[in-house]
Structure 1
Amino acid sequence: MSDIKITIIDRQGVEHQVDAPTDMNMNLMEVVRSYELAAEGTIGICGGMAMCASCQCYILSDHELPALSYDEDLMLAEAFHVKENSRLGCQIFIKEELAGLRVALAPEA
């Protein structure tokens, strides 16, 4: 098992450094849910299908991420609180090259 450290700033502005497994095919939204960093029922409402934007986050580090998929781009075009560094957490899969990633959860819509 190989874990990486990532930093997640919750919706109250509290910073959490967490261990995220790289060998479980988890995405960032699932990591946030597993550490209960967002209130129950407020993140991952669509189950990680890029259909609700409840897992929107802001990428604060300079990590190179995969390009936006068509569905992610479409969803962010309709979401609230979108910034240039917005991504959907359900579309960011935990991989070793994301060690040190820093993200902040977007406000609830």
Structure 2
Amino acid sequence: MTDEVRVYVEEPTGQRTEVVGPTDMGLNLMELLKASGYDIQATCGGMALCGTCHIEVLGGPELDEPGDDEMAMLESLPILSPGSRLSCQLRITERLDGLILRLMPQTA
């Protein structure tokens, strides 16, 4: 068991940036990305109500399926991919280690 995980953000240039987060603080992925300097609005504060923390999972560990609230929000977005998730709904746990993601464009 480790006390931190590494996730990789694919930048618009195609380069991947490593982001390291602690597993012992109860953070979600949205909070980690914001703390790492990524421009995520998160206007609903992580309640799965706005979609402004929309990411696309490109690779890495298999994640649990989105819950009903997350799925309803995702389905309302104008851009949806098979890897679409709301980063506010993904807790930072050792299960996220190695996740590769891309921030989706904001349409709001």
Normalized against structure 1, the TM-score is what?
0.88
Give the AA of the match of 2:89.
Answer: Q
CA RMSD of aligned residues (A): 1.7
Structure 2 gaps, min length 5: none
Find the partner of 2:85 among 84, 87, 91. Answer: 87
Q: Does the 8 Å CA contact 2:60/2:98 hold for their aligned counterparts?
A: no
Classify 1:11/1:66 alpha carbon distance in 2 versus 1 (closer, same or farther; 3 Å).
same
What displacement does 1:68 show? 1.0
Percent of aligned pairs with the same residue? 34
Structure 2 CA distance for aligned equivalents of residues 25 and 80 of structure 1: 30
1:26 is the counterpart of 2:37: no
Equivalent pairs, count: 106
Classify 1:6/1:22 alpha carbon distance in 2 versus 1 (closer, same or farther; 3 Å).
same
Classify 1:14/1:80 alpha carbon distance in 2 versus 1 (closer, same or farther; 3 Å).
farther
1:69 is the counterpart of 2:67: yes
What displacement does 1:12 show? 6.7
Give the AA of the match of 1:37.
Answer: Y
Match in the other structure for 1:15 = 16
What displacement does 1:10 show? 4.5
Classify 1:95/1:9 alpha carbon distance in 2 versus 1 (closer, same or farther; 3 Å).
same
Match in the other structure for 2:44 = 46
Structure 2 CA distance for aligned equivalents of residues 98 and 29 of structure 1: 13
Normalized against structure 2, the TM-score is what?
0.88
Structure 2 CA distance for aligned equivalents of residues 67 and 54 of structure 1: 19
2:44 counterpart SS class: coil
Structure 1 gaps, min length 5: none
